[in-house]
Amino acid sequence: MRIPAPPYIETIKPYIPGKPIEEVERELGLAHTVKMASNENPLGPSPRAVEALKGFLDKIHIYPDGAGFYLCRALGARYGVDPARIILGNGSVEIVEMSARAYLCPGVNAVFSQGAFAMYPIACQIVNAEARQAPMRDRTHDLHAMLDLMDEKTRLVIVANPNNPTGTYNALRDVERFLERVPETALVVMDEAYKEFVDAPDYGSALPLLDRFPNLIVLGTFSKAYGLAALRVGYGFAQPEVITTLHKVRSPFNTSAPAQVAALAALDDEAFVQTYLALNRVELAYLTGELKAMGLQVTPSVTNFLMVDVPMDADECFRALLREGVIVRPQKSGGFPRSLRVTVHTREGNDRFLAATKKVLGR
């Protein structure tokens, strides 16, 4: 017996996460593998978050606060936003999915960039809405090309700033001009999952533009800088009307109580975050320089990862590096057939990757 799914569901190519270290070591008989595939914090989780979790273990039989009152209040205090304008997600990607469920349907469309996060087209396909993808310029969102794709049926616009997987960004002034031209009937999702890493003077969060553009939602996450990827806590800032609409499609208890407790503690662990950001700045420059010294092209990155082009099929290079005990992320499925996305690691991890790359490429 086979239960048929709608054609638009049948044709979805599921998101494939990076391979876990345990699976790679089991498959290939390896040990001491270094994972540089998922942009995780190589220093581990926020120590304050770990302590908070330890003190919460005897309460995990109780359902969480569905709307995350205390975490929303803390985020509001940190960013100067009324908690009524904040929503939590099971990672920031869930808020993208909520936005698609709330505002898309057959007959309308969403606009985003080619070469952006792989879940954007999937979120649109799940609700059978048209997905329009603008070509990139220099591996960066071409905001003008995105505007050209919009019409009176555009209901959702997604901008990853900085962008995953290319590591590039759009200047705040360009984002502001872009927002001025987006139809008021389209929700603009500004995905800023990597905002903490950016040092570029012309970059800025779109959060200060929230009052000026009521059709804007700005996303953030605890997965990257705070080291809480396994707990899946994201957040979004928007006008109360947008938040109310998103709550209508939000799953109950979508962020767990342990996740909220850990995120609340991590939010105050600024010393940990700054230590990581300082490490990332040094190691990003180091990794970029060493790869260029090998004669490889590296896309300039403002994040905790970089995209490097290799003189072979990306999937083939990925498999060869796996055999050397290094896990990276091939980008062939995202439209970059000879590119790898590599997470910036500690010096030891980066040197492992560089040595393996030299061996695989014969450099």
Domains of the chain: 13-45+271-361 (3.90.1150.10), 47-267 (3.40.640.10)
Share of the chain above pLDDT 70, in %: 99
Give the DSSP H or E segment for 332.
none
- Indicate the pTM of the whole model: 0.93
The CA distance from 111 to 186, in Å, is 10
Query: What pLDDT is stored for residue 22 in this prediction?
Result: 80
**Lowest mean per-residue pLDDT among 23-27, 90-94, 359-363:** 23-27
Q: Is the pLDDT of residue 284 over 70?
A: yes
CB atoms closer than 10 angstroms to residue 251: 12
Tell me what the mean pLDDT of segment 130-156 comes to: 97
Tell me what the mean pLDDT of segment 80-88 comes to: 96
Who contacts 87 (Cβ-Cβ below 8 Å, separation ≥6)? 67, 72, 95, 98, 235, 236, 238, 243, 246, 247, 250
Tell me what the mean pLDDT of segment 267-296 comes to: 97
The CA distance from 163 to 116, in Å, is 6
Share of the chain above pLDDT 90, in %: 87
Query: What pLDDT is stored for residue 334 in this prediction?
Result: 86
Query: What pLDDT is stored for residue 13 in this prediction?
Result: 83
Q: Where are the beta strands (DSSP E) in the chain?
A: 34-35, 86-89, 109-113, 130-134, 154-160, 187-191, 216-221, 234-238, 297-299, 305-309, 326-327, 329-330, 339-343
What mean pLDDT is reported for the chain? Answer: 94
C-alpha distance across the termini of the chain, in Å = 54
Query: What pLDDT is stored for residue 20 in this prediction?
Result: 74
Q: Is the pLDDT of residue 7 over 80?
A: yes
Mind listing the pLDDT tens digit for each residue in 29-76?
777 889 999 999 999 999 999 999 999 988 999 899 888 999 999 999
The SS3 of residue 130 is strand
Query: What pLDDT is stored for residue 1 in this prediction?
Result: 60
141 — pLDDT class (breaks 50, 70, 90) = very high
The CA distance from 72 to 342, in Å, is 32
Residue 338 tokens read as 């000879």
The pairing of strands 329-330 and 326-327 is unpaired
Query: What pLDDT is stored for residue 4 in this prediction?
Result: 86
Q: What is the DSSP letter of 40?
A: -
Residue 319 tokens read as 């498999």
Buried b (16+ CB within 10 A) or exposed e, 278-309: ebbeebbeebbebbeeeebebbbbbbbbbbbb
Query: What pLDDT is stored for residue 66 in this prediction?
Result: 87
Give the DSSP H or E segment for 2.
none
10 — pLDDT class (breaks 50, 70, 90) = confident
Mind listing the pLDDT tens digit for each residue in 171-200?
999 999 999 999 999 999 999 999 999 999
Supply the angle between the helices 47-54 and 257-267 in degrees, to the nearest 10.
140
